[in-house]
Structure 1
């Protein structure tokens, strides 16, 4: 693998780890800082919310900056934020560190993709995008379970020190081996927001947000679920997270195959519907480990299977603004994570057992299913296509009709 691509992938992995690792060590953080588990869960909410807002905003404001220099400065801020988390004497300081790493992390992830495609031949660009994306998903497979074990032995703070060291190594290699990259043409934020003019596009983003909100209502508090409902220790919890991560990586491939074979519209409906059913059934399987393992795998796979179908759908629904819509869809994903983490905290504080998180989350995914039906099957106005003019209409209708 190209050394520069490898470094960018490691940076993407590191950013993914900062967001995802918190869920695996919530009880440790809560106990150490003297807050409730639901309060500690708001660290996930804060990160996702800042990430969602800062992604498109910072890209618009920094569009004229040379990309390599911007990447290096983003890594500097990210390292400082990680070290602040390592040092944090109380919950308030830790929360501030999440703001810092979320804002810088949103730039690092996007710039990793931007820089990676510029250092390889055009024929390898799609492959490189897949490698960078795998860096993020692999933080689930390897980072979270290993982080659970490390935190159990050395405390949760050590995780953020490791993350800062990884980011520092990435910054050194980028500085040493990567040439300056000229900025691309700026797309004003107002222009980006103006692209949200079709109910089909907005509906797709809302489906993503609602599905992730339902997912994180339980997933953000999955460690308490495994501890309190299934009575698992750190080693077994790590194994469950690893198993979930493998399923999530497989889910991306499964979702892509489904979208190519069945069409984007049918795939979205199947994934969202099956996801809701899985969440409702998961608590009932806690006393029967083989069934629980099957449902965890299905749950993990479906959590990532929606993305390929949504991307295909958005490209067809809004071809001339497809790149902007991918950015907005990732923001919708982060908003869903923020909402789900917040809702999950309320549920865990006001219900007798964490199993209610699964059922409340499943209900939110049912709402996503209803929005998907309305978005995907509502007929466009006879006056003009909802998309973006004649070109968009001619592309959109055959695609949706063919699903």
Structure 2
């Protein structure tokens, strides 16, 4: 693996920890801060919303800042936000810490992606995007299941202290081994937004948003789902997250290889179609101790398999604004997480159970599939023409 890509993957790993670990400890946070599960779930929503807005906005505002310095400053702010979460005496302070880490984390991940695709040959772009995505999905494997066990023994606050320390280690690695990255000519934010006027590109971002919305309608509330439907304790819940995480890491790599071999168009349709079916089957699978692990693994793998194909698709169809489209796609991803976690909370509140969340999520994923069909049917030439117009508009 390219050493620079490895460094970028380590950085995204630390960011992934703080966003995703919340889902595994929602019941504990709910009890400790005396808020409902739905309210605790909004800690995921606010992180995702701030992340979505901050990604392209901060990238444009910091366009003249040398990239390594920006990387290190982002990590320092991220560390401060993690420490604030560790100290937080109430829900409001924890809520504020999530906004701080989301803003800085968005820059870390966006910079990781935009830099990574520049340090490898074009034919390996989808694969390297899969590797960067693996940095986040790896945090599921190690962070969420271990986090569930640690919070059981030491409380949920210790998790944020550990994340702060890991970020400091990542900062040291970046400072020592990543060379200075020159600033390239950037596109004004207004021109970035103009690139979304094309229906092919905009609907492609909707695909990501809706798929993640459907996914997080269920995934954000997986812990209470496992407690209610299967009666699992903290130990077994951590095992479930571990299996899911292994699948997610595999999915990032599988998605990258699938996109390289089958092409982005076929990969997108295959991943979304099977994903919707898996989410529909999930609540039924809990009745069988043999079927549930299989469905869980497929669900986990597909949750990260779409990203490489989507990013490759955007590079192919909007090459002049590919960096910007990668940023927007991760923003769409975060908007989806925000919508899904918020909608999941609404479903829980109105039904009094998490059992319906997966079916609601499956319906949203089907909408993603329809958006994919629409995007794929639009002419590619028009997308490139609009991209060029966006580059020259400011």
TM-score by length of 2: 0.91
SS in 2 for 1:389: helix
Counterpart position of 1:324:
324
> 1:151, 1:49 → 2: CA distance?
26
Q: Distance in 1 between matches of 2:123 and 2:259?
A: 22
SS in 1 for 2:196: coil
- Per-residue CA deviation, residues 229-264 of structure 1 (Å, 9 max, x unaligned), is 110011111111111111112112332343344432
Give how far 1:25 is off: 0.5
Query: What's the CA shift for 1:331?
Result: 0.9
Secondary structure, in 3 states, of the residue corresponding to 2:35?
coil
Partner of 1:388: 384
Judged with a 3 Å threshold, the aligned counterparts in structure 2 of structure 1 residues 4 and 369 are, in CA distance, closer, same or farther, namely closer
> 1:24 and 2:24 equivalent?
yes
State the shift of 1:9 in Å: 3.4
Residues 199 and 386, structure 1, Cα contact 8 Å, conserved in 2: no
Task: Tell me the CA shift for residue 316 of structure 1.
Answer: 2.5
CA distance in 1, matches of 2:123, 2:369: 36
Within 5 Å, which residues of 2 pair with 1:166-205? 166-176=166-176, 178-205=178-205
Please identify, of 155-164 and 297-306, the stretch whose mean Cα deviation from structure 2 is larger.
Answer: 297-306
**Residue 11 of structure 1 contacts residue 166 of structure 1 at CA under 8 Å; is this kept in 2?**
no
Change in Cα spacing, 1:203 to 1:349, as seen in structure 2 (3 Å) is: same
What is the count of residue pairs matched by the alignment? 387
* 1:374 equivalenced with 2:374 (yes/no): yes
Residue 125 and residue 153 in structure 1: after superposition, are their counterparts in 2 closer, same or farther (change >3 A)? Answer: same
- Distance change in 2, residues 1:364/1:3 (3 Å): closer
- How is 1:308-319 mapped onto 2 (pairs within 5 angstroms)? 308-319=308-319
Stretches of structure 2 that go unaligned for 5 or more consecutive residues are 389-394
Task: Give, in angstroms, the shift of residue 27 of structure 1.
Answer: 0.4
CA displacement, residues 320-377 of structure 1 (integer Å, 9 cap, x when unaligned): 2222212211111111001000000101111142111111111111111222223323
2:356 is paired with a residue whose SS is: helix
Give the distance between the partners of 1:315 and 1:3, measured in 2 at CA: 23
Match of 2:280?
A: 280
Do the aligned partners of residues 109 and 351 (structure 1) sit closer, same or farther apart at CA in structure 2, a change above 3 Å counting?
same
Structure-2 change in CA distance of 1:292 and 1:390 (3 Å): closer
Question: Unmatched 5+ residue regions in structure 1?
Answer: 393-403
Taking a change above 3 Å as real, the CA distance of residues 388 and 93 of structure 1, as seen in their structure-2 partners, is same
RMSD: 2.6
Write the mapping of 1:44-193 to structure 2, written as runs, cut at 5 A: 44-113=44-113, 131-176=131-176, 178-193=178-193
Give the match for residue 339 of structure 1.
339
Larger radius of gyration: 1
In structure 1, the residue matched to 2:241 is: 241
Q: Distance in 2 between matches of 1:187 and 1:195?
A: 11
Cα offset, 1:216, TM superposition:
0.1
